[in-house]
């Protein structure tokens, strides 16, 4: 199979999208902007050995490659619309490509995004997706918009992907049932696009949690020039995961694990009911986990009121 067979047979599928003037097959794609919208762009790259195991199932890989980009749109409150996929592949294996593309197009259809182009080259596995989304003009959930007194909220559950990854590295032991749930979270993150869009009219700052909550909240605090208190032991996770891990390890996974692809966002306390209502409408759990204040940096607080200090070696708990 040649590169051009691959493009024709696997990538040039019918995708209903009235705003795509010209899709895959020419030198470049053309899309037509709608009046009153801002466009929002993001790009994420995944490398074998760094972001995924080289023997990952192609369907899981395709899901992740697209989901992490959809998550960036969710974090802006944008409607994802178009994606470009650049792929380096060691060979064109038909069964592998079929499974990869079926999964990719299934997720794309689920979120209403259209694959409009990309590039294919021979090499060790690398995937880079560029995504474009739409926002109502002048609106976005930006990192620099947190306000004093805001509640801090987190969607879904944290630490599962990190637990599964550590189980692969054999640095943690998990019961089979718990591992299965964590592994599913690691392989099939669910981008919180519906929640992000529903929050857009009233939430303040937001970002997706990809590098660990503590670090990612830090970006919001820095951009917004504020501090925060985070109630670490109230962070949402899998109860069975928490039950089977030493507390320090659990805190490490929820605070610094990475690969969660949940949203962390801030909103005024007056909007609590509204947050809960849009969370329910978008079928996404949300948990209130802290508060924006006028200190500097992030203060992580344990259930007993003691401060949790993040060190390069892990976490120290000064109760």
Judged by the rule CB under 6 A, the positions of this chain that interact with ligand ADP are 7, 11, 24-27, 85, 87, 115, 117-120
Q: Which stretch binds Mg ion (CB under 5 A): 45-53, 118-126, 132-140, 166-174?
A: 118-126
- Smallest gap, in angstroms, from Cβ of residue 29 to Mg ion? 13
Establish if 119 lies at the interface with Mg ion (CB under 5 A).
yes
144 appears as a binding residue in the annotation: no
Q: Look at residue 124 and give the partner it binds from Mg ion, ligand ADP, none, a contact being a CB closer than 5 to 8 Å depending on partner kind.
A: none
8 appears as a binding residue in the annotation: no
Q: At what angle do helices 213-224 and 247-256 cross, to 10 degrees?
A: 50
- Smallest gap, in angstroms, from Cβ of residue 2 to Mg ion? 12
Q: Closer to Mg ion at the Cβ: 25 or 306?
A: 25
Q: Closer to ligand ADP at the Cβ: 101 or 158?
A: 101
- Smallest gap, in angstroms, from Cβ of residue 132 to Mg ion? 19
Q: Which stretch binds Mg ion (CB under 5 A): 13-21, 113-121, 175-183, 254-262?
A: 113-121
Q: Look at residue 118 and give the partner it binds from Mg ion, ligand ADP, none, a contact being a CB closer than 5 to 8 Å depending on partner kind.
A: ligand ADP
Which residues lie below 8 Å from residue 130, measured CB to CB, with a gap of 6+? Answer: 41, 42, 43, 69, 83, 84, 86
In angstroms, rounded to a whole number, what is the distance separating the alpha carbons of residues 150 and 99? 44
Which residues lie below 8 Å from residue 163, measured CB to CB, with a gap of 6+? Answer: 172, 174, 178, 179, 182, 241, 245, 253, 257
Q: Could you tell me where the beta strands, DSSP code E, fall in 34-150?
A: 37-47, 79-89, 114-122, 126-136
216 appears as a binding residue in the annotation: no
Structure tokens at 16: 């209903």
Q: Closer to Mg ion at the Cβ: 121 or 137?
A: 121
Q: In what order do the strands lie in the sheet with 286-293?
A: 206-209, 262-267, 151-155, 286-293, 227-231, 297-301, 307-311, 314-318
Q: Closer to ligand ADP at the Cβ: 29 or 146?
A: 29
- Smallest gap, in angstroms, from Cβ of residue 56 to ligand ADP? 18
Return the number of other C-beta atoms located less than 10 Å from residue 18's C-beta.
6
Q: In what order do the strands lie in the sheet with 126-136?
A: 37-47, 126-136, 79-89, 114-122
- Smallest gap, in angstroms, from Cβ of residue 251 to ligand ADP? 40
208 appears as a binding residue in the annotation: yes
Nearest to 108 by CA among 7, 16, 19: 16
- At 208 the three-state DSSP class reads strand
72 appears as a binding residue in the annotation: yes
- Smallest gap, in angstroms, from Cβ of residue 1 to Mg ion? 16
Largest Cα separation within the chain, whole Å, is 63
Nearest to 160 by CA among 174, 150, 148: 174
Size of the site for Mg ion (CB under 5 A): 1
Q: Which residues bind Mg ion (CB under 5 A)?
A: 119
Q: Binding-site residues for Mg(2+), please?
A: 27, 42-44, 72, 119, 208, 211
Q: Binding-site residues, please?
A: 27, 42-44, 51, 72, 118-119, 143, 208, 210-211, 259, 315
């Amino acid at each position: 199979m040649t590169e051009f067979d691959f493009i024709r047979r696997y990538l040039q599928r019918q995708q209903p999208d009235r705003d795509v003037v010209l899709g895959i097959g020419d030198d470049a794609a053309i899309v037509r902007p709608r009046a009153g919208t801002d466009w929002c762009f993001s790009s994420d790259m995944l490398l074998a050995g760094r972001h995924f195991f080289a023997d990952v199932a192609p369907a899981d890989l395709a899901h992740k490659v697209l989901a992490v980009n959809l998550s960036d749109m969710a974090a802006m409150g944008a409607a994802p619309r178009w994606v470009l996929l650049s792929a380096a592949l060691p060979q064109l294996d038909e069964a592998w490509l079929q499974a990869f593309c079926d999964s990719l197009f299934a997720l794309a259809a689920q979120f209403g995004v259209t694959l409009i182009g990309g590039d294919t080259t021979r090499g060790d596995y690398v995937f880079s997706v560029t995504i474009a989304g739409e926002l109502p003009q002048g609106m976005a959930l930006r990192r620099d918009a947190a306000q004093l007194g805001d509640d801090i909220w987190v969607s879904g559950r944290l630490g599962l992907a990190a637990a599964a990854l550590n189980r692969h590295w054999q640095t943690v032991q998990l019961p089979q049932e718990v591992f299965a749930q964590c592994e599913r979270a690691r392989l099939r993150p669910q981008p919180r696009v519906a929640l992000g869009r529903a929050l857009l009219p009233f939430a303040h700052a937001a970002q997706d949690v990809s590098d660990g909550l503590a670090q990612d909240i830090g970006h919001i605090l820095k951009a917004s020039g504020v501090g925060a208190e985070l109630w670490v032991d109230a962070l949402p996770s899998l109860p069975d995961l928490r039950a089977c891990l030493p507390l320090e390890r659990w805190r490490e996974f929820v605070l610094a694990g990475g690969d969660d692809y949940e949203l962390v966002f801030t909103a005024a306390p007056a909007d609590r009911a509204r947050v809960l209502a849009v969370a329910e409408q978008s079928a996404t759990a949300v948990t209130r986990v802290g508060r924006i204040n006028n200190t500097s940096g992030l203060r992580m607080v344990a259930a007993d009121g003691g401060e949790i200090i993040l060190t390069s070696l892990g976490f120290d708990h000064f109760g």
